[in-house]
């Protein structure tokens, strides 16, 4: 995979989440006269996208990426051992 596009999907998801959070906040602040049910829906959407950002940051900076890299290292070492010549 080209290094230029390596994290394109992750960056796009984070940007989309931030845009949705901004849109929800604008709707809530600009249309303060909307009924409580509409505010509840906007709050629900806001919480959902905040959760998406939390998961994205957790993957990028947490143990999940390290585990993925560790699995790739173990797989590479296993392949190297399997390709080694067998003793007679």
In a domain, 2, yes or no: no
In a domain, 29, yes or no: yes
In a domain, 86, yes or no: no
In a domain, 66, yes or no: yes
Instruction: Report how many domains make up the chain.
Output: 1
Domain hosting 51: range is 7-81
In a domain, 1, yes or no: no
In a domain, 33, yes or no: yes
Over the stretch 36-83, which tens digit does the pLDDT of each residue have?
888 888 888 888 888 888 887 777 767 666 666 777 777 777 776 677
Would you list the DSSP string of the chain? Answer: --GGGTTHHHHHHHHHHHHHHHHHHHHHHHTTTS-HHHHHHHHHHHHHHHHHHHHHHHHHHSHHHHHHHHHHHHHHHHHHHHHSPPP-
In a domain, 63, yes or no: yes
In a domain, 72, yes or no: yes
pLDDT at 28 over 80: no
């Amino acid at each position: 995979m080209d290094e230029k596009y390596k994290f394109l999907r992750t960056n796009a998801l984070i940007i989309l989440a931030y845009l949705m959070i901004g849109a929800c906040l604008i709707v809530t602040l600009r249309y303060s006269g909307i009924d409580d049910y509409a505010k509840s829906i906007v709050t629900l959407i806001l919480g959902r996208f905040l959760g998406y950002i939390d998961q994205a940051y957790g993957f990028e900076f947490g143990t999940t990426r390290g585990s993925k890299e560790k699995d790739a290292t173990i797989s590479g070492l296993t392949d190297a051992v399997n390709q080694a010549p067998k003793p007679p």
